[in-house]
């Protein structure tokens, strides 16, 4: 529900309640006012009758004065003190065929030793009419309020909330790796200004945190490589001394381990970089060339491992992707296919404008193949690989919105990457 | 050959110096920006090894100063940052080579020799090891005037051995030199053995001594004093 719709509904609900209560109050105030006016007029009339009687004028028992049909003037036999009573009484109304509330004024007046009973009643406006008038007034007000609310809503959702919508739009388009915090448009509305200041501060902090993290990842990688370099150098110097076979094999094992550590460090740094979207510049890359160059670079390894290569590669497939990422992706995939192959195995590579597919013979998997995209997940836990190659591939294809699938049928592993989202026709 | 090593880490510096001194080089060191600046302005070196992260300034700045003051000095950047930007910037400024930590000392040595050959001898150098002569410009190898037909990888391997004569080179080191980044993730290093075997066979067939010594079948050593029985 839009803010404006919600505002309008609340406004109307409140209006209906307020107008309802206001209507009841208005009805009573108007009715009381009318009744009081009527009472004063009746009292005036009684005073006039009294005056006329004092002047010696005589009346018939029922007689009209000032077109008052209900005036009663009766001389009494008994004596009563001067008295005036105002009361409500129900009188049958012929027109509406029901009892209608009327104001009645009765008085006893002693004039020339005779006590007169003077009384009259009536109503100026029926309460029905008052009610109808009040309701119709209220409906008019309600109608005008709906129009007013719609007008306010239009202004609110239009120019008034423009700074808010601008800020929202900027937040939606905010990219943390652009290294720029979010600068909002100036506005004279305090709340929006507060929001803008908050968003500015928050994005400044996010950008600086991001940079710190990036710096940390890079520094950590740097700081780790130096000790590894020292250790490797010392080992090299150690091999220059006279070592026996066992000592030498220890040194060799240490060297292999250090290499693995350094590779691990490189791969983690690379993963962090990819995750931090540091490779977001999209350039046009000839993937056909990258695939072919990769194959050439590994040619010797293929023949040494007696692997049979079958390729079906279309020329000049152009992709919109960072060139380093394309190369890393392909070399990881291809290396994977060689390393996890079997003696006299086979590698099939297929590249066309729709997908890139590499399938190889290998050992049967005990696990779900897609698990191997996770970090440090390996087909065989004791293998020399560090288990980050496929997670790097996964990160790269995810970032470029390329769907990837890994399927195995017996000992044949197939990875297929759809190129639809990045291909350039 | 005179080499300036600009590196702030004392242990790493010691490794490099020990290894290079065995090869008969004259080495000087600088461990911060000011010292490095003073040295490059006051003396001439054949090769400068420059660490990118040094106290007091940037290695790239030193590289710039060096290239404008003494363009004939060969430069090799050593960096722990495997970042593409630094590599591209370094090579654009005019560094001759770029090496990422952790590197093999043998590899560093081979690169120093290659840069020296390119800069000072116009690439036209004949590396001689007893009866073997390697003509680096023509990429040709001769044993007593007999041309040995080597594949590019075998040639590279021989040149690498010649740069690191009498040093023990592990299979891993050799593989990394021949294959660069690709090999870093390979488990099976048997292909190194294949290349060594072929190179050895070709050299012996051409009449050379059998210099390549297997060290407990883990590493190899090009022993120039070895005489085949």
Q: Which of A240, A258, A278 is the last residue of a domain?
A: A278
What pLDDT score was predicted for residue A53? 83
CB of A252 within 8 Å of a chain B CB? The answer is yes
Global pTM value: 0.65
A91/A199 same-domain check: no
What pLDDT score was predicted for residue A310? 93
Q: What is the rounded CA–CA span in Å between residue B9 and residue A227?
A: 9
Q: Which residue has the tokens 């190889």?
A: A360
Q: What is the rounded CA–CA span in Å between residue A243 and residue A248?
A: 6
What pLDDT score was predicted for residue A189? 83
| Interface contact flag, B15 A234, Cβ < 8 Å | yes
| Structural domains in chain B, sorted by start | 2-120 (3.40.50.2300), 126-222 (1.10.10.10)
Q: How many helices (H) and strands (E) does chain A have?
A: 8, 12
pLDDT in tens, B115-157: 998 887 776 678 888 899 999 888 899 999 899 999 988 999 9
What pLDDT score was predicted for residue B141? 92
* Tens of pLDDT, residue by residue, chain A (425 residues): 777 788 888 888 998 899 999 999 998 998 888 888 888 888 888 888 888 888 877 776 656 566 666 788 888 888 888 888 888 888 777 777 777 778 888 888 888 788 888 888 887 777 778 888 889 998 998 889 888 888 887 887 778 888 888 888 888 888 776 667 777 778 888 888 888 888 888 888 988 888 888 778 777 877 888 899 999 999 988 988 888 989 988 988 898 888 888 888 888 888 888 877 777 766 889 999 999 988 888 887 788 778 899 999 999 899 988 888 898 899 889 988 888 888 889 999 999 999 999 999 988 887 888 888 887 777 766 566 777 888 899 989 988 889 999 998 888 999 999 998 888 87
> Which residues of chain B neighbour A255 with C-beta distances below 8 Å?
170, 172
**Domain membership of residue A53 as a residue range:** 3-148
What pLDDT score was predicted for residue A184? 73
DSSP for residue A375: T
Indicate the pLDDT class of residue B186, thresholds 50, 70 and 90.
low
CATH of the domain at A307: 3.30.565.10
Q: What is the rounded CA–CA span in Å between residue A50 and residue A36?
A: 21
What pLDDT score was predicted for residue B16? 94
Q: Is residue A156 part of a domain?
A: no
* Substitution target from A223, A236, A391 for chain B, most B beta carbons within 10 A: A236
Nearest to B18 by CA among B180, B167, B222: B167
Q: Is residue A183 part of a domain?
A: yes
Radius of gyration of chain B (CA): 18
Contact B49, B19 (CB under 8 A): no
A118/A13 same-domain check: yes
Classify residue A270 as left (phi > 0), alpha (psi -120 to 50) or beta.
Answer: alpha
Q: Which of A248, A278, A308 is the last residue of a domain?
A: A278
Size of the A and B interface in Cβ pairs below 8 Å: 111
A95/A196 same-domain check: no
Q: Is residue A343 part of a domain?
A: yes
Q: Which of A95, A119, A148 is the last residue of a domain?
A: A148
Q: Which of residues 144-163 of B touch A (CB under 8 A)?
A: 153
Indicate the pLDDT class of residue B184, thresholds 50, 70 and 90.
low
A269/A289 same-domain check: no
What pLDDT score was predicted for residue B93? 84
ipTM for the complex? 0.84
Percentage of chain B exceeding pLDDT 70 = 92
The DSSP bridge pattern shows strands A72-76 and A114-122 to be antiparallel
CB of B58 within 8 Å of a chain A CB? The answer is no
DSSP-assigned beta bridge partners for residue A354: none
| Interface contact flag, A240 B219, Cβ < 8 Å | no
pLDDT in tens, B26-65: 999 999 999 999 999 999 999 999 998 889 988 889 999 9
Q: Is residue A154 part of a domain?
A: no
Residue B209, pLDDT above cutoff 60: yes
A72/A50 same-domain check: yes
Q: What is the rounded CA–CA span in Å between residue A26 and residue A22?
A: 6
A272/A290 same-domain check: no
Strand order across the beta sheet in which A98-111 lies: A72-76, A114-122, A98-111, A83-93
A392/A299 same-domain check: yes
A333/A357 same-domain check: yes
What pLDDT score was predicted for residue B84? 65
Is the preceding omega at residue B102 within 30 degrees of 0, hence cis? yes
| Interface contact flag, A248 B22, Cβ < 8 Å | no
> Which residues of chain A neighbour B101 with C-beta distances below 8 Å?
225-226, 228-229
A244/A305 same-domain check: no
Indicate the pLDDT class of residue B158, thresholds 50, 70 and 90.
very high
**Average pLDDT value for chain B:** 87
Neighbours of B166 (CB within 10 A): 16
| Interface contact flag, A339 B187, Cβ < 8 Å | yes
Contact B77, B50 (CB under 8 A): yes
Q: Is residue A413 part of a domain?
A: yes
Q: Which of residues 377-406 of A touch B (CB under 8 A)?
A: 383-386, 389
A413/A293 same-domain check: yes
What pLDDT score was predicted for residue A65? 60
Min Cα–Cα distance to chain A from B6, Å: 14
From start to end of A94-223, where are the E strands? 98-111, 114-122
A301/A396 same-domain check: yes
Q: Which of B53, B102, B187 sits opposite A228 (nearest CB)?
A: B102
* Substitution target from A218, A228, A229 for chain B, most B beta carbons within 10 A: A229
Nearest to A384 by CA among B185, B120, B33, B75: B185
Q: Is residue A388 part of a domain?
A: yes
What pLDDT score was predicted for residue A339? 82
The total of structural domains in chain A comes to 3
Q: Is residue A161 part of a domain?
A: no
Q: Which of A225, A255, A256 sits opposite B101 (nearest CB)?
A: A225
Q: Is residue A162 part of a domain?
A: no
A100/A25 same-domain check: yes
Q: Which of A252, A297, A338 sits opposite B170 (nearest CB)?
A: A252
């Amino acid at each position: 529900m839009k803010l404006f719709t919600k505002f309008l509904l609340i406004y109307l609900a409140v209006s209906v309640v307020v107008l309802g209560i206001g209507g009841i109050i208005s009805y009573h105030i108007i009715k009381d006012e009318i009744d009081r006016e009527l009472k004063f007029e009746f009292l005036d009339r009684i005073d006039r009758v009294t005056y006329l009687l004092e002047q010696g004028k005589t009346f018939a028992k029922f007689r009209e004065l000032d077109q008052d049909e209900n005036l009663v003037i009766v001389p009494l036999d008994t004596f009563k003190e001067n008295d005036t009573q105002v009361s409500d009484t129900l009188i049958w109304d012929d027109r509406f065929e029901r009892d209608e509330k009327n104001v009645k004024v009765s008085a006893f007046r002693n004039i020339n030793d005779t006590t007169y009973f003077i009384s009259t009643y009536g109503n100026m406006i029926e309460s029905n009419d008052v009610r109808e008038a009040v309701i119709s007034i209220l409906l008019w007000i309600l109608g005008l309020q709906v129009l007013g609310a719609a007008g306010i809503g239009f202004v609110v959702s239009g120019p008034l909330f423009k700074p808010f919508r601008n800020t929202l739009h900027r937040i939606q388009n905010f990219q943390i790796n652009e290294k720029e915090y979010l600068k909002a448009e100036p506005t004279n509305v305090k709340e929006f200004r507060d929001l803008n200041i908050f968003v500015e501060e928050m994005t400044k902090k996010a950008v600086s945190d991001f940079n710190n993290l990036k710096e940390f990842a890079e520094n950590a990688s740097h700081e780790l490589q130096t000790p590894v370099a020292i250790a490797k150098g010392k080992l090299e110097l150690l091999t220059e001394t006279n070592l026996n076979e066992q000592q030498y094999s220890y040194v060799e094992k240490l060297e292999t381990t250090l290499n693995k550590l350094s590779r691990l460090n490189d791969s983690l740094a690379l993963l962090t970089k990819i995750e931090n979207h540091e490779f977001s510049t999209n350039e046009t890359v000839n993937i056909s060339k990258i695939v072919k160059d990769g194959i050439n670079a590994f040619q010797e390894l293929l023949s040494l491992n007696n692997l049979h290569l079958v390729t079906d590669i279309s020329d000049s497939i152009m992709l919109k992707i960072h060139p380093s990422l394309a190369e890393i992706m392909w070399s990881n995939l291809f290396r994977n296919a060689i390393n996890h192959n079997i003696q006299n195995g086979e590698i099939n590579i297929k590249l066309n404008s729709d997908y890139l597919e590499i399938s190889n013979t290998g050992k049967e998997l005990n696990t779900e193949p897609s698990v191997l995209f996770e970090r440090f997940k390996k087909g065989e836990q004791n293998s020399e690989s560090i288990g980050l190659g496929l997670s790097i591939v996964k990160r790269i294809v995810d970032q470029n919105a390329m769907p990837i699938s890994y399927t195995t049928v017996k000992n044949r592993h197939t990875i297929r990457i759809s190129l639809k989202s990045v291909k350039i026709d | 050959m005179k080499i300036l090593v600009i590196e702030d880490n004392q242990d790493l510096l010691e490794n490099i110096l020990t290894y290079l001194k065995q090869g008969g080089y004259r080495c000087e060191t600088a461990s911060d920006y000011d010292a490095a600046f003073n040295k490059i302005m006051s003396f001439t070196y054949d090769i400068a090894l420059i660490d990118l992260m040094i106290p007091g300034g940037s290695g790239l700045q030193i590289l710039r100063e060096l290239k404008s003051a003494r363009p004939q000095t060969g430069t090799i950047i050593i960096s722990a940052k495997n970042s593409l930007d630094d590599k591209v910037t370094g090579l654009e400024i005019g560094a001759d080579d770029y090496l990422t930590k952790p590197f093999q000392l043998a590899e560093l040595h081979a690169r120093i020799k290659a840069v020296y050959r390119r800069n000072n001898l116009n690439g036209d150098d004949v590396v001689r090891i007893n009866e073997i002569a390697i003509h680096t410009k023509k990429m040709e190898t001769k044993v007593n005037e007999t041309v040995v037909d080597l594949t590019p990888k075998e040639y590279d391997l021989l040149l690498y051995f010649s740069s690191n004569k009498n040093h023990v080179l592990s299979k891993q080191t050799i593989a990394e030199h021949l294959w660069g980044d690709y090999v870093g993730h390979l488990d099976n290093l048997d292909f190194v053995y294949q290349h060594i075997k072929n190179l050895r066979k070709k050299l012996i067939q051409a009449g050379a001594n059998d210099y390549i010594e297997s060290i407990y079948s883990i590493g190899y050593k090009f022993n120039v004093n070895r005489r085949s029985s």
